[in-house]
Structure 1
Amino acid sequence: MKNLYILLFTLVITACGNNKTNDTEVVATETDSNEIIVTKAQFESENMAFGTIPEFNFNESIKVNGMIDVPPQNKSSISTFIGGYITQTPLLVGDEVKKGQLLVSLQNPEYVEIQQNYLEVAEQLNYLKSEFNRQKTLYDEKITSEKNYLKAESTYKSNLAHYNGLRKKLQMMNINPKQVEQGKITSSINIYAPIEGFVTKVNISNGTYVSPSDVILEIVDTDHIHLELSVFEKDIMKVKKGQKIQFKIPEASDETFGAEVHLVGTTINDKNRQVQVHGHVNNDENNFIVGMFVEAEIIFESARKMGLPKEALAILEDGTYVLALVEEKDNSFQLEKIKLSIGKTSEDAVEVLNSSELKNKKILTKGLGMLITGN
């Protein structure tokens, strides 16, 4: 009998200990299909928070694709007016160049022949000019015939045209005609940068022969980065100058960048029925690279609507729900599930069409976790 009393006493103490443990346990219980009880201990440990239903900006937009580009005047394909062999190529892809900087040097015996022809014509020109002036004077004084005068004039002017043509050719080859007239003849020419920028293509190496139709290298000035977007014919009437653009570079970053519609094309591409739209980037200090693929949205309408952040939502099979506070007790919160009618969506929020049901209610906006489960 004594042992039986000891056993019963032990069981009573154990039961009391279990009750104390249950009192401090962090639990969330579902009292019925629409109500949930959350202890304050769980509320704090899960970093939950209440909030009210606020307003968000919801945009009507057109989704388009495009690329990073620069204006035509900021891109230069370098070639030569006269073919030759590359003798110097100091640049690599990615090198920065200044306007007027040496890009490549070429060599060709033909350059020597052109300078020789120019020098010969320049020497003849002085004599022909003197002869023309002499014949003109004689003709004015009725000493020589008109035939001799016209012949001298024709020969002089023909030689002058040849001289000017060769002179311009030398200038295009970056050879100084005055130095040639002084007898300084060179077998090589230099090509200089017409714009400031970065080398994006190099198609040659030392010893390569290039003809006038070959692109030696390409330079791009990235100071005026812009967007070239393709908009389908069915959407183009919604696009206007000054509208905001939000775009991403999916292959390189998850960040969203801003731009603005600057020009809208006036012709439709016959192949894909698209129109080109030119957008100015708001902040061109980012490391954008010409040719990057972009995914963009052109915003043609924006309005403020009542909505909730996406982290406050629970998406179930039968709809989208939130938790609203019904009653606060000493150690717990009584919450109820409210089904939402969803309207427009943005990247971070959704429009709530039945917002009147949530007016003056405290909504669980953080820490929703797995509190709501499907029945």
Structure 2
Amino acid sequence: MKNISNKLSSSIYGKGLLLVAIMVLASCNSKEKSTVPNEDSSVEIENPDVITLTETQFASGNMEIGKITTQPFNTIVKANGMFAVPPENQADVSAYFAGYVKDISLLPGDAVKKGQTLFTIENPEYVQAQQDFLEAKGRLNYLKSDYERQKELMADNVTSKKNFLKAESEYTVTLAQYQSLKKKLSLMNINPNTLSGENIRSVISVPSPISGYATTINATKGMYLNPSDVAITVTNTDNLHIELKIFEKDLPMVKEGQPINVRLQNDMTNVYKGKVHLVNKAINIQDRTVDIHGDLVNESDAKLFAPGMYIEGEILTTTTEYPALPMEAVANIDNDYFVLVKENDTTFRRVLVKIGATNNDFIQIVNADDFDVNTEFLTKGAYNLITE
């Protein structure tokens, strides 16, 4: 019995040793596995602020390298306005005398010359005016001769003073009528010196007072025109100028001769150059603005525009120099501004910068002192790389 117990204990003890050995081996295997490096741990994490470019990418993207430079920046007074012409370059044409429009063939935009017939009007009353003139002209010759004869007789005491005064009065009255009718015919565009009974007419022509373009046409064939009715507006665009309005607070900064950048409201990319010609001395009390008149630097630009076109202007006042980069070198990401600093031939690092004023495609770098004077930046093609 005792031998059986000893064998049983020996068997249990052996199994225990075997179990312990298995556990030790398992633990060793586990430790060995844990020492095997993970494949992911061997991969370096990329720095999002570092960008690497190949020479091919640099060339195909037309990229450029540059440094911070000192650029002039102007204090800008912004203004709105339009293109306009001087008062003498625009004429509202109407007939001096009422009548019916007989002929008119102009279209808006047609070019006209000074003295050219714009339209014709007809009225029987024109005939009466010409008749009265010819009658006054005929009487005047006789009355003038009689007046001079009575004057000589009066000097010789041959005639009475009454006869002389009567002749003088009739001559003076008829002369006034003649001169008045002569002026009236001139306004009718009828030459009184060539008028005779054979060429009396009921139709008169209305000429253009200036050269330019027919910009507005209100008259139509058969329409009855009163002297106060504007039939056609003629505009000469040769002296097209800039009319802007600034707020009264900006008046002390604006002076004659200052540059103006002009942009059309529907085309903000093209900039046209002008300069301040005249600053009004009166303030519009309704909107508290001041009128500014300017001239286009390039007179040929006037052919591109028409009076009444709305524009946005920037009057460049005082000038200050600041360190700056081209605007293409700076990208805005959630109101933070970044540039790409060159680290070597193929690597660029994204860096936060502080910006200030903008002018002439340059932007002020407020923290320029944070960079060495020889630091190079990606000045063209940086925006897409920074925002990717």
Q: Is the TM value for this pair above 0.5?
A: yes
- The counterpart of 1:179, out of the listed 187, 194, 203, is 194
| Inter-partner Cα distance in structure 2 for 1:295 and 1:370 | 30
Question: Are residue 158 (structure 1) and residue 158 (structure 2) matched?
Answer: no
| Inter-partner Cα distance in structure 2 for 1:28 and 1:153 | 118
Question: Are residue 316 (structure 1) and residue 333 (structure 2) matched?
Answer: yes
Match of 2:107 in 1: 92
**Bigger helix share:** 2
Question: Are residue 51 (structure 1) and residue 66 (structure 2) matched?
Answer: yes
Change (3 A) 1:217 1:62: same
| AA matched with 1:338 | V
Stretch of structure 1 that moved more, 364-373 or 65-74: 364-373
- The counterpart of 2:370, out of the listed 340, 353, 357, is 357
- The counterpart of 2:230, out of the listed 199, 207, 215, is 215
User: Over aligned residues, Cα RMSD in angstroms?
Assistant: 2.4
Question: Are residue 326 (structure 1) and residue 343 (structure 2) matched?
Answer: yes
Change (3 A) 1:28 1:142: farther
Question: Are residue 29 (structure 1) and residue 42 (structure 2) matched?
Answer: no
| Inter-partner Cα distance in structure 2 for 1:354 and 1:367 | 22
| AA matched with 2:225 | V
1:252 Cα offset (Å):
5.2
Change (3 A) 1:364 1:37: same
Match of 1:346 in 2: 359
**Structure 2 residue matching 1:153: 3-state secondary structure:** helix
**Structure 1 residue matching 2:315: 3-state secondary structure:** strand
| AA matched with 1:362 | E
| Inter-partner Cα distance in structure 2 for 1:252 and 1:105 | 42
1:370 Cα offset (Å):
5.4
CA contact (8 A) 1:228 1:276 kept: yes
Match of 1:294 in 2: 311
Change (3 A) 1:130 1:48: closer
1:369 Cα offset (Å):
4.3
1:228 Cα offset (Å):
1.2
> What TM-score comes out, normalization by structure 1 length?
0.84
Alignment of 1:63-212 (within 5 A): 63-181=78-196, 183-212=198-227
Q: Deviations over 1:280-301 (max 9, x none)?
A: 1112323111110000011112
1:49 Cα offset (Å):
3.6
1:161 Cα offset (Å):
0.6
CA contact (8 A) 2:62 2:380 kept: yes
CA contact (8 A) 1:85 1:210 kept: yes
Q: Deviations over 1:126-181 (max 9, x none)?
A: 22112211221111111222232222212211111111000000011111112334
Q: Which has the larger radius of gyration?
A: 2
| Inter-partner Cα distance in structure 2 for 1:337 and 1:119 | 94
CA contact (8 A) 1:56 1:349 kept: yes
- The counterpart of 2:382, out of the listed 348, 354, 368, is 368
Q: Tell me the number of residue pairs that the alignment of Structure 1 and Structure 2 aligns.
A: 342
> What TM-score comes out, normalization by structure 2 length?
0.82
| Inter-partner Cα distance in structure 2 for 1:208 and 1:313 | 64
Stretch of structure 1 that moved more, 311-320 or 297-306: 311-320
Change (3 A) 1:322 1:157: same
**% same residue:** 39
| AA matched with 2:240 | I
CA contact (8 A) 1:70 1:221 kept: yes
CA contact (8 A) 2:98 2:226 kept: yes
5+ long unaligned stretches in structure 1: 1-22
CA contact (8 A) 2:330 2:383 kept: no
